[in-house]
Structure 1
Amino acid sequence: MPPRIASGGSRGRGGPPTRGGPPTRGRGGAAAPPSTASHVTTVGVRRTAYGTAGRKIPVFTNHFPVSIPDSVIHHYDGVINGSSEKTLPARLNMELIERLQKVTAPDVFTPRAVYDGRKNMFAARELPFGPEVTSREFDVTLVDPAEAPQSASGKGPKVYKIRLTHVATINPEVLLRFLEGKQSHDNTVLTAITALNVVVRMQPTIQWPFNVRSFFTDRETKDIGSGIVLWRGYFQSVRPAPGRMLINVDISTGTMYMPGPLINLCLAYLDRRNPLALAPGGQDGLPERERIRLQRFISGIRVFTNQPNRPQGGRANRTPRVIKKLTTAGASRLSFQLHDGATMTVKDYFQKTYNYTLKYPSIICAEVGSGALVPLELCDVEAGQIMRKQVPPEKTKDVLDFATKRPNDRLESIKRGLGVLAYGQSEYVRQFGMHVDTTTATLGLDARVLQPPTLKYGEGSRQPNITPSNGAWNMIDKKFYRPVEIKQWIMVIYETDRRFDRANANATAKGLLSACLEVGIRVQEQNPMIFYLNAQGRIGGDLARAGNACKQKNSIMPDLIVAILPEGGTDTYTAIKHFGDITVGVPTQCLKAHKCKSAKAQYFANVCLKINVKLGGINTIPEPRSVSILTDPHNPTIVMGADVIHPAPGADGRPSFTALVGNVDSDSAKYVADCRVQTSRQELIEDLEDMSRRILMQYMAYRSHVEKKANTAPKRIIFYRDGVSEGQFRQVLDVELPRLKQACASLKINPTITVVVVGKRHHVRFFPQRPGDADKSGNCPAGTVVDHDVTHPLELDWYLQSHSGLLGTSRPAHYSVLHDENRFTPDGLQALSFALCHVYARSTRSVSIPAPVYYADIVCSRAKNHYDPQGALHFSDDITHTDAKAASQLEEFRANFKPLHVNMTRVMYFS
């Protein structure tokens, strides 16, 4: 055996279609709201009406009706190994439960139960543990003792103890009552929905690699290099809808490790050819930084270890082992201690024990979970292993290309997926008395296309008011609503003058000046100072010297710094933003050198969209009469967007970042932001009270000093919250809403508050039934809204596809109203949300979510700009930490987070 080192998962609303028929219809074909009993409670706002505005179009959706079981379901709590604290991988748990049911105790599990891979087991009949016995323990091995090879210590195969305890009996009648509005969405309903999800997922999770609610097959794959292979997968989720249960089916993408020899995987990841490149040191060897990067990539994967020179007929070790880390030395230099105290190298061990001469004795070894050291050449990667780490940035496009499908192609792929899912052939689905109706191919329903808001541009525009067409418009012959004036600006170039010479620089300056003139931005300096700077130098110091040179020449500092960056200039970009946004408070605009060299007028016009708002201007506003909710002078309204971003999987020691964005003007077009750092992977916003207070104070100051309003306090707050799972809705109401109210109370204001969660992480899609209703990409048109048939049975929610499609199938945003003191109508909230998708300053297209939410997401993603680029803290994915080190570094991130420069707190620096 190999030498050893000396010892020294969101709650969802999933659910299948119910025994009930389709929801009842009122006049005009809209589903009538459920008649909810008075005792029924909801988490969010109860639906009392459906929207009616807009023109109707028929659409398909990727949902299928599923029946509710007629008989009771028995719920069991499963503990494997006798301890609920040591968590085994879900894949291993599934194997153990399958073994338990088929081999260990088949008489107990007839018919077979279903299992979620963690703690929940559901059975269609009560398991026969014995009279008045509610719990039973089983001993399970993954192989038969007679067939298992003996270990060196003489022990047989590992025995796992599985204890099952009956915890509840689920009457599916509660689901029917819930769908009819006669039952609250409590734990009994949640558990019933969970049971149905486990039933439909049981068969594919036994057969294929799985990840939460998706599983992946090798029927359609793509090798994208770097040791990564993409597999086509299928998502499925049983969900409640008005009057029935549905199953939501969609395609998904799994990133898998390349199977086969481990050496090949390592070389592919490092983009090397020669196995000797995995030897430490030397000019062509493996640098320590690359070893750590590789270790991070492959740690946790399962490999089969091959016994060298195995005798004919002998057994190979087909029990996979988990890679813990990579050694720092090669097999010929890596020593370990024997039981007698002597030492031996790994190379000599395999020579002496197995009479095997290593092909590559100089390359590193893998340390597996048991502590054994195994040469890479003796390891094979098990097929079908999901890579649960962040995809390298350079491979993102390959993943998107594989995942992106045009609407018709996606719908056809979903239909083909039904054959893979094979609900009718699943013994588990049948024995629970469920039936998935796939005969009608896809569910059809009526959607509505909302009227977009009218947008207002500035004086001098040939057409000051325009109505977008399918989510798009243009800036031809239009002036910004409030253009800024630039007195002085400079250009700094981080590309070499050989690749971006003076002629390129002058052409870029001329293009920008011409674009500014077109949109109404007044620029006094027509011949800006141009500096060529070193991207490897001290960015902040060089920029400061360039700014001082401008001041010496023109007596004032520049209002704007335009930076020209080379390809791959991410670090330079971060340093420039830190200097401008955090250190000195001067707006910066970064451009790519290769884009500037071939840029047309449209490119510079788009750049002006960003520059104008960064300097305090306003590009366009919704015409007040088209968004009366926002512009009612008797009810001044502030719209907020909030988001939290978490570190990538495995990035221990990194914090989460929070952002709050809110408008300060009466037209909901000019926004300010606040960003904070908080505990890693905590979803609720810790500093929401203080952040809200600061945004509200700026809103009131702007109304008082700039707009000269007498009533400065907002009467209404509309709070859009991004990134919250359905299981956290109650926490938003119990924790974040009180913090927002406390901020108002501290300022002695009492606005009415509406809280809406905006979700994009779902698999609901809509497909136009008639070609004439589709946009150029084949998607539903911008403004398509669906608020019935596939929505929540009791609560106010809707799906809104607010943008026009470009590539692939558009994903609608899902809006859930959690709290509404303003008593808005569904039509009012839907029109408001759609209008806010048109005031995103960086584009002349409507976007997929309301602008304040979009801005909050951008502010979160730019939180790294708040750290000194020359400091010790960094955001590289190549470093691993112990738990203690991770906790210590988290505190360092807190302590070194630098706030915005005061100049930038009043402008849209994030645009």
Structure 2
Amino acid sequence: MSDRGQDRGRGRGRAGRRGQGHGPGRGQGRGQGRGQEFGQGGGRGQGGQGRGQDRGRGRDQDRGRGRGQAQGSVPPVDRERGNAPISASGSTPQSAPAEHIQTVGVRRRGYGAAGTAVEVYTNHYNITIPDKIIYHYDVAMNQDLEKTRPLRANMDLIQRLQEQIAPEIFTPRCVYDGRKNLYSTRKLPFTDDKETFDVPSRSTPQPSQRPIKVTLTKVAELNPELLQRYTEGLQSLDNDILTTETALNVVVRMEPASRYPFNVRSFFTPYERKDIGNGLELWRGYFQSVRPAVGRMLLNVDISTGMMYKPGPLIDLALDFFGRQGNTPNMLAPSRGLPERMRRDLQQFLSGVKVITSAGAGPRMITSLSREGARQLTFQLQDGTITSVADHFRTSKNVTLRFPDILCAGIGTDGEYFPFEVCFVPPGQIARKQVPPEKTKAMVEFSTKSPSERLNSIRQGLGVLAHGQSEFVRQFGFHVDETQPLKIQARQLKPPTLQYGSGSKALTVVPRDGTWNMIDKKFYQPAEIVKWVVVIFENDRRFSRDRAKEMTKSLMDACKNAGIKIQNESPNVRYANPQGNINDALQAAGDECGATVEPKGDAPSLFVVVLPEHAADLYRAVKHFGDITQGVPTQCLRSHKCSRANFQYFANVCLKINVKLGGINVVPDHRSSSILTDPHNPTIIMGADVGHPPPNSKERPSFASVVANVDSSTSQYAARCRVQKARQEMIDDLEGMAKELIEEYRTHLREKEGKTNFDPKRILYFRDGVSEGQFQQVLDVELPCIKKACESLKIQPAITVIIVGKRHHVRLFPVDPRDPKQADKKSGNCKAGTIVDREIVHPTDVDFYLLPHAGLLGTSRPGRYTVLHDDSNFTVDAIQELCYTLCHVFARSTRSVSIPAPVYYADIVCDRARNHYDPTQGDLNLDVSDTASDDAAAAARVQRFSQAFKPLHPRMGTKAYYM
């Protein structure tokens, strides 16, 4: 896991955008990043695993597979404004990509010029491109074992082939990615470019084991010169370039992969580790990836974190999992009271762990746990005799068990059971599981490093990666310049001006270092609370009536201060049993309010609900009742936080309440972004995302969400959410959701704003969560859906598609952390508004890295923006200004956040999808992470989720219920 910026982290398996990506719980905004490296790579959108498994299709960091025609372009370079392209070194102009070059996204025609020039360090290092032919071989094992065996087992197998079976053929040694691809610097002496070898499956072969047949077939000769032409904009992206890039990545990873535990692109070392309890420890890791840039190839190096099983006796690991290190091992004995629930939890934790046994077996994988102890568990010998596991070890292995009543581990596919006390867990095993919520804080503390600390760790990591000592790097003929990280040109954009409502002491504010405040300011469009009710799910001993009265008054004061009108200043206050029927309690409170408060008979316009600590299920029930069933906005407060809270706390609550009631907190001033405020071109800003279940949950669906503004100020966002097939990244019902949101926009402008020009002229579609390999799919699948939605409504707006990415390892560092003009004085990060669109970006397509927020902890992660399609032909500066401005209008914050507000909203909507299920349906447990027994059962369960998904109440259609 990488260090965090100030904002968002959520351990969502988006799954977790999103493999196994983990992030901490939500922080203040969003930039805490998804898809950190804990084991299996991904979080939401699992890009990168099994890369290149099809012959010739390998690639790194999910680079696009195909070539696509440019879908529009930015206008020619305005040289008088200084917007001319520059070379990779930044010293002389560099020509734009050649006209014949095909691109996936919009072709780069120039660079941005707005802002103040500044230099920054980045975690990239120059590399020289090899000048020799690379020979690519396909690896095939009998029964397709290369696809199913662990990467480490495959790599050990190929190592035995090269060093023991046929060293005379494999000199110098080839590099191997662990699946389908092997690369050599010389043509191997095979008959007809194909050869089959018999290789022992283990380093110490057993007489009963058959060797694995490995067939190597030459499939391509790769000329690295094509990579150089590609980086210079003289060559279109094709399969040879993708495969060559993958080959170079395999080369740089081969040496550390032979020495350390690894996970696709990261390697973890025991030199820096932390015990976090419950059988887990954290190891410092290093990420590296060869990437094409403008005019050159670069090596991106970063630190990461791996979650490992704690090594040692299996008994100790099991006791530590339960937090009972000091207990007797007999607590693991079913006959002595071990509950079945605890046995299942332990089985899920240990599943996949490799152990070595004193009986000489191993390392072999745990597949199950027995339901009985070794003394009680019996089996039949070959002579028909029935014996127990404990007696078998005493008579056959001469091992008398000290704890014969504790569990046994089922090992391997043969179903052999071994007593816990004869099993030992070797070090360096990645725990490929979802991070336990209670471990989030420990992971954040371990992985969080200030920018200067992170840069120093990266420099030290180069010594661990040891490129100069790698025989593979040397023989393939390229060199990594490790003298210093790359220093590149950047700019600091001017922050947008934000506009508040009438009654404010100052109608506008200009953020400073990504922050501002609400002092003496009124909301741009304050809402009105006609009648409301307070429901407290705490007893009056913990949350007294005096405290309830004080809380209510403080909340009303904050609302009035921000401009929210309150008609009823004496709301009904009811206490309710948190263990009772939540729907009945809220319904009774609403009925009482409707019967006693004018206008009588009307439902409340707001429920304020006070919840106890650790009440996730209660929260979900409240939101389901209000947002889904009744169409009444709800605002939940934690009892320990709202009890005697300060004014700032309630001011932040008001930010949420106002938009939930249909108000608008702040809008960008018309001078800040011409795209957003052009009255002649009504604009819809859409944000879209897909949230995935945790990596081991086949039986849970994915959730797709789209949000869009319904007002002319592009600040009031409605949302739609749908269920779709698990781990499907392309949005199924994008056409339907887009159509609904466009209709909401037209209705709002016509009926509530009195506009006569209510058809959108432009749609800007911000898509979150897709990897580079899925860019073409967005153009082929999702863009046509938006067009169809527009056609069905008989409109023809210009459409712009922008991908927003956070799952990358690019970091920016101020050259002088002590200079207040370069660095944020609190965190040491680059200042808010730092943007890079040169040198480390895509060789031909329009993309850039933007750091819009002031990080609070660790090293902030910039967002990466890629323009895939642009009917409007926006200038580079206009696109960059738009993205930066949208990072300042996130409704529940007075800080800029790390990605544009509509993208952030779409992410939250996916997270709120669980509220669309009736919490009384216990058989639809949204927190399960077990794998279904088979694909058919998983599909049936997903279908049940789809059928049980309840739509949002119509009254909430244009309100920001998700806040």
State whether TM-score is above 0.5. Answer: yes
Which residue pairs with 2:676 in the alignment?
630
The answer to whether structure 1 residue 852 and structure 2 residue 902 are counterparts is yes
| 1:882 lines up with 2:933 in the alignment | yes
Shift in Å at residue 355 of structure 1?
4.1
Q: Which amino acid aligns with 1:375?
A: P
Shift, 1:85, TM fit: 7.4
Pairwise CA distance, 1:561 = 1.0
Task: Report the Cα distance in structure 2 between the residues aligned to 1:92 and 1:231, rounded to whole angstroms.
Answer: 22
Distance across 2 between alignment mates of 1:45 and 1:509 = 53
Say if 1:123 and 1:27 are closer, same or farther in 2 by CA, change over 3 A. closer
Q: For residue 244 of structure 2, what is the aligned residue in structure 1? A: 192
* Cα distance change on mapping 1:482 and 1:222 into 2, 3 Å: same
TM alignment of 1:517-596, pairs within 5 A: 517-554=560-597, 555=600, 556-596=602-642
Q: Give the conservation status (yes or no) of the 8 Å contact 2:696–2:929.
A: no
Deviations 1:176-213 (CA, angstroms, capped at 9, x unpaired): 11111111011111011001111000000111000011
Partners of 2:469 and 2:914 in 1: CA distance: 51
Answering whether residue 429 of structure 2 is matched by residue 385 of structure 1, we say yes
**Bigger mean CA deviation after superposition, 700-709 or 363-372:** 363-372
Pairing 1:87-486 to 2, within 5 Å after superposition: 87-130=148-191, 133-141=192-200, 155-272=207-324, 273-280=327-334, 285-307=337-359, 316-317=360-361, 319-369=362-412, 370-439=414-483, 441-486=484-529
- Give the Cα separation in 1 of the matches to 2:62 and 2:607: 50
Instruction: Please state how far the C-alpha of 1:382 moved relative to its aligned partner.
Output: 1.8
Offset of 1:302 from its aligned partner?
Answer: 0.7
Residue 919 of structure 2 corresponds to which residue in structure 1? 869
Find the partner of 1:510 among 537, 543, 553.
553
Residues 100 and 24 of structure 1, relative CA distance in 2, 3 Å threshold: farther
Paired with 1:751 and 1:781, the residues of 2 have a C-alpha distance of: 36
Check the 8 A contact 1:12/1:726 in 2, yes or no.
no
CA distance in 2, matches of 1:330, 1:263: 13
> What value does the CA root-mean-square deviation take over the aligned residues?
1.8
Does residue 68 (structure 1) correspond to residue 111 (structure 2)? The answer is: no
CA distance in structure 1 between the aligned counterparts of 2:315 and 2:636, rounded to whole angstroms: 41
Counterpart residue type for residue 632 of structure 2:
V
**Structure 1 residue 56: deviation in Å?**
1.1
Q: Which residue of 1 aligns with 2:785?
A: 739
Aligned counterparts of 1:226 and 1:859: Cα–Cα separation in 2: 32
Pick which of 417-426 and 260-269 moved more. 260-269
2:87, 2:295 within 8 Å by CA — same for their partners in 1?
no
After superposition, the Cα gap between the structure-2 partners of 1:869 and 1:143, relative to the gap in structure 1 and judged at 3 Å, is closer
Cα distance between partner residues in 2 of 1:384 and 1:121: 25
Task: Write the letter of the residue equivalent to 1:66.
Answer: I
Letter in 2 for 1:640: M
Match status 1:899 vs 2:951: yes
Q: Which amino acid aligns with 1:430?
A: R
| SS class of match (1:791) | coil
Task: Indicate the SS of the match to 1:229.
Answer: strand
**Cα pair distance change 1:492/1:430, threshold 3 Å:** same
- Kindly provide the CA deviation profile for residues 448-501 of structure 1, in whole angstroms up to 9, marking residues without a partner as x: 011111111011100111111111000000000111111221111222322221
Kindly indicate whether the alpha-carbon contact (under 8 Å) linking 1:61 and 1:765 is maintained by their aligned counterparts in 2.
yes
The correspondence of residues 72-91 of structure 1 with structure 2, limited to 5 A, is 72-81=133-142, 83=144, 87-91=148-152
Give structure 2 stretches of 5+ with no counterpart: 1-48, 52-58, 64-83
| Match in the other structure for 2:104 | 43
Structure 1 window deviating more from structure 2 (554-563 vs 326-335): it is 326-335
Deviation per CA, 1:226-245, whole angstroms, max 9, x where unpaired? 11110000000000011000
The change in CA–CA distance for 1:670 and 1:738 in structure 2 (over 3 A counts) is same
Q: Is the 8 A contact 2:287 2:301 kept in 1?
A: yes
Query: 2:823 matched to which residue of 1?
Result: 774
Q: Report deviation, 1:343.
A: 3.4
State the distance in 2 between where 1:508 and 1:351 align. 68
Name the amino acid aligned to 1:737: L
Deviation of 1:24 after TM superposition, in Å, equals 8.2
Q: Is the 1:613–1:907 contact (alpha carbons within 8 Å) kept by the matching residues of 2? A: yes
Report if aligned partners of 1:292, 1:879 keep a CA contact under 8 Å in 2.
no
Whole-Å separation in 2 of the counterparts to 1:544 and 1:465: 42
- Cα distance in structure 2, aligned partners of 1:280 and 1:387: 26
Q: Determine which of 716, 721, 730 is the counterpart of 2:762.
A: 716
Letter aligned with residue 557 of structure 1: A
The percentage of counterpart residues that share the same residue type is 56
Correspondence for 1:313 = none
- Paired AA for residue 291 in structure 2: R
- The 3 A distance-change label for structure 1 pair 27 and 174 is closer
Q: State the Cα distance separating 1:28 from its structure 2 match.
A: 12
| Equivalent pair of 1:616/1:907 in contact (CA under 8 Å) | yes
CA distance in 2, matches of 1:26, 1:66: 17
> Which ranges in structure 1 are unaligned for 5 or more consecutive residues?
1-8, 16-22, 308-315
CA displacement at 1:156 relative to structure 2: 4.5
Equivalent positions of 1:601-620 (< 5 A) are 601-620=647-666
Deviation at 1:113, TM superposition (A): 0.6
CA drift at 1:157: 4.8
Residue 796 (1) aligns with residue 846 (2):
yes
Give 1:652's aligned amino acid. Answer: K
Whether the 8 Å contact between 2:175 and 2:251 is mirrored in structure 1 is: yes
1:361 deviates by: 2.5
**Structure 1's 468 and 502: CA in aligned 2 closer, same or farther, altered over 3 A?**
same
Q: Which region of structure 1 is more displaced relative to structure 2, 785-794 or 594-603? A: 594-603
- Listed one character per residue, the Cα deviations across residues 851-883 of structure 1 (whole Å, up to 9, x for unaligned) are 000000000011111111010201223644201
Mapped to 2, the partners of 1:197 and 1:355 lie a distance apart of 50
Q: Is the 8 A contact 1:303 1:320 kept in 2?
A: yes
The 1:253–1:564 alpha-carbon spacing in structure 2 relative to 1, beyond 3 Å, is same
C-alpha distance 336-86 of structure 1, shift in aligned 2 (>3 A): farther
Amino acid at match of 2:932: H
Q: Using the alignment, how far apart are the partners of 2:955 and 2:333 within structure 1?
A: 52
Match of 1:839 among 879, 885, 889: 889
Q: Comparing 195-204 with 285-294, which one deviates more in the overlay?
A: 285-294
Distance in 2 (CA, whole Å) between partners of 1:901 and 1:766 is: 44
Equivalent residue pairs, number: 875
What SS class does the counterpart of residue 223 from structure 1 fall into? strand
Deviation of 1:26 after TM superposition, in Å, equals 6.8
Residues 1:823 and 2:909 are matched in the alignment: no
> Structure 2 length as normaliser, TM-score?
0.89
- Distance (Å, rounded) in 2 between the aligned partners of 1:358 and 1:500: 55
Cα distance in 1 for partners of 2:718, 2:481 equals 50
Deviations 1:814-872 (A, max 9, x none): 00111111101110000000000011000000100000000000000111111110102
The worse-fitting range, judged by mean Cα deviation, of 469-478 and 325-334 is: 325-334
- List per-residue Cα deviations over 1:90-123 (Å, max 9, x = no partner): 0101111111111111111111110111111110
The more displaced of 544-553 and 344-353 is 344-353
Distance 1:671 1:277 in 2: 54
Q: What is the one-letter code of the residue matched to 2:768?
A: D
